[in-house]
């Protein structure tokens, strides 16, 4: 009887999971993907089994603007769904993730990816079997490869899984958008999608492997957290008593090369071409490593230098200054107290009321807009913007 029930359930699942047969004109934007869609967004490429699920998972991450289902890594141009699912193209079902680097980093995308796949399965993902459904991280440059390999090693060393981590990290070659009826399938065919996802065993595996951490914000987006009555994740802001500075190896896996070189090696980012020099939104700026509050948009002004500049710190107790005699001059370096991150320098050529110019590196900061202060645990600063 049990065998018969399982067979009937699998048959029903297969019927409901089949998308409607809609003709595809081939006039999508497939083909080799551009690195960015505009000067604000970046693209990343991941395969996590069924692209309906991977697309849905990434679109639930703050900072992701869109996730596009498609086919990647194979040798057939503009393949059809039938070709790819048959396993004859070399492609895997994949997603192109369009994200805002000012809100979520590539390292944080990787963190999210690992918590939504089975990294120990080389033969597919969950109910979908075959190499066309295996998990893959496609990297487009040396920096993405460094971050991807570091994140994979971190997962291996964690001991979370008894079996070996086998997810591949491959050089990106091509990406072709899937047929229109596959896009946003979790929104357009909600019941079929939910039935398929439950029947696939994906969430049951992820819940067992990760528990509540499965859908917690990636490291660096919220420091700590709790669940609000409406079921959303709430951050705990910054707790100096609970903060422990990560090791250099951890920081290298979490931060971009620029963020690491600025905060840990006292480097300076390029002027004008950085995340916050031209940011005029209301909110606060926190340390990218610790989350400790540093500056407010209420004290930000246009200095013309190409770096975000402030007349004073939001929390003076989180700021440390010291003499800097590099570059054949004497300057005053600014560092965060708890994370000991290099932030920038302070000069005495600023406007009233302080006459100071705190010239900061965007790479050392994370901006939290006014609308997200409460959710991320910094609600006490909302009064600054009323």
Domains along the sequence of the chain with CATH: 2-18+28-215 (3.30.1060.10), 248-385 (2.170.150.20)
**How much is the pLDDT for 239?**
77
110-141: burial string, b at 16+ Cβ within 10 Å, e else: bbbbbbbbbbbbeebbbbbeeebbbbbbbbbe
Q: Which conformational region is residue 26 in: left (phi greater than 0), alpha (psi within -120 to 50 degrees), or beta?
A: left
- Per-residue pLDDT at 297: 97
Number of H helices, E strands in the chain: 10, 19
Can 50 be counted among the known catalytic residues? yes
| Verdict on whether the full-model pTM lies above 0.95 | no
CA 81 to chain CA mean position, Å? 28
Instruction: Provide the pLDDT for residue 36.
Output: 45
Please check whether residue 49 is in contact with residue 125, taking contact to mean a CB–CB distance below 8 angstroms: yes
Q: Quote the pLDDT of residue 377.
A: 84
CB atoms within 10 A of CB 59: 16
Tell me, what's the pLDDT at 38?
Answer: 61
From the candidates 222, 289, 359, 363, give the one annotated as an active-site residue. Answer: 359
Query: What is the pLDDT at residue 221?
Result: 56
Q: Hey, which bits of the chain come out as E strands? A: 42-48, 64-72, 92-99, 124-125, 128-129, 135-139, 168-171, 175-177, 226-227, 233-234, 283-287, 293-296, 300-301, 309-310, 319-324, 331-336, 342-347, 357-360, 365-369
**Nearest alpha-carbon partner for 22 in 82, 67, 77:** 82
Virtual CA dihedral for 219, 221, 226, 230, nearest 10 degrees? -140
The pLDDT averaged over each successive group of 10 residues in the chain (386 residues) is 36 43 34 49 96 95 94 96 96 96 88 96 97 97 92 89 96 96 93 93 93 74 37 56 81 89 96 94 96 96 97 95 88 96 96 96 96 88 91
Side-chain half-sphere exposure of 202, counting CA atoms within 13 A: 28
353 cis-preceded (ω within 30 degrees of 0): yes
Q: Where are the alpha helices (DSSP H) in 18-170?
A: 51-59, 81-85, 106-114, 142-158
- In this predicted structure, what is the pLDDT of residue 341? 97
- Determine how many CB atoms are found less than 10 A away from the CB of residue 8: 10
Nearest to 168 by CA among 130, 115, 131: 131
| Catalytic member of 44, 47, 50, 346 | 50
**115 with 85: CB under 8 angstroms?**
no
Contact in structure between 44 and 106 (CB atoms under 8 Å): yes
Give the number of other Cβ atoms within 10 Å of residue 46's Cβ: 28
Q: What is the pLDDT of residue 231?
A: 32
Is 53 a known active-site residue?
Answer: no
pLDDT score of 18: 44
Tell me, what's the pLDDT at 219? 61
């Amino acid at each position: 009887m049990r065998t018969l029930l399982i067979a009937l359930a699998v048959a029903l699942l297969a019927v409901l999971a089949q998308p409607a047969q809609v003709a595809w004109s081939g006039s999508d934007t497939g083909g080799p993907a551009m690195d960015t869609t505009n000067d604000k967004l970046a693209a990343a490429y991941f395969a996590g089994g069924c692209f309906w699920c991977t697309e849905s998972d990434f679109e639930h991450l703050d900072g992701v603007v869109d996730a596009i289902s498609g086919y990647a890594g194979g040798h057939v141009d503009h393949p059809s769904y039938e070709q790819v699912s048959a396993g004859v193209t070399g492609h895997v079902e994949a997603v192109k993730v369009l994200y805002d680097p000012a809100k979520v980093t590539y390292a944080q995308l990787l963190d999210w990816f690992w918590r939504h796949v089975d990294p120990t399965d080389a033969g597919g993902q969950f109910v979908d079997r075959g190499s066309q459904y295996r998990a893959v991280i496609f990297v487009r440059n040396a920096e993405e490869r460094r971050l991807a390999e570091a994140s994979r090693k971190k997962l291996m060393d964690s001991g979370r899984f008894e079996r070996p981590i086998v997810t591949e990290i491959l050089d990106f070659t091509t990406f072709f958008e899937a047929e229109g009826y596959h896009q946003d399938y979790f929104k357009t065919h909600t019941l079929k999608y939910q039935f398929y996802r439950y029947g696939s065993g994906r969430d049951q595996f992820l819940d067992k492997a990760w528990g509540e951490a499965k859908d917690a914000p990636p490291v660096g987006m919220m420091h700590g957290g709790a669940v609000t009555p409406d079921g959303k994740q709430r951050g705990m802001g910054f707790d100096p008593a609970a903060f422990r500075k990560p090791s250099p190896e951890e920081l290298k896996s979490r931060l971009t090369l620029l963020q690491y070189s600025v905060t840990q090696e006292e480097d300076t980012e390029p002027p004008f071409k950085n995340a916050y020099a031209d940011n005029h939104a209301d909110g606060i700026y926190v340390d990218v490593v610790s989350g400790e509050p540093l500056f407010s948009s209420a004290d930000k002004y246009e200095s013309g230098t190409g770096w975000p500049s402030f007349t004073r710190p939001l929390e003076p107790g989180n700021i440390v200054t010291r003499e800097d005699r590099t570059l054949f001059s004497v300057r005053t370096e600014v560092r965060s107290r708890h994370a000991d991150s290099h932030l920038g320098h302070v000069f005495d050529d600023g406007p009233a009321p302080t006459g100071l110019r705190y010239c900061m590196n965007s790479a050392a900061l994370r901006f939290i807009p006014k609308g997200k202060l409460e959710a991320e645990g910094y609600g006490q600063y909302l009064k600054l913007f009323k």
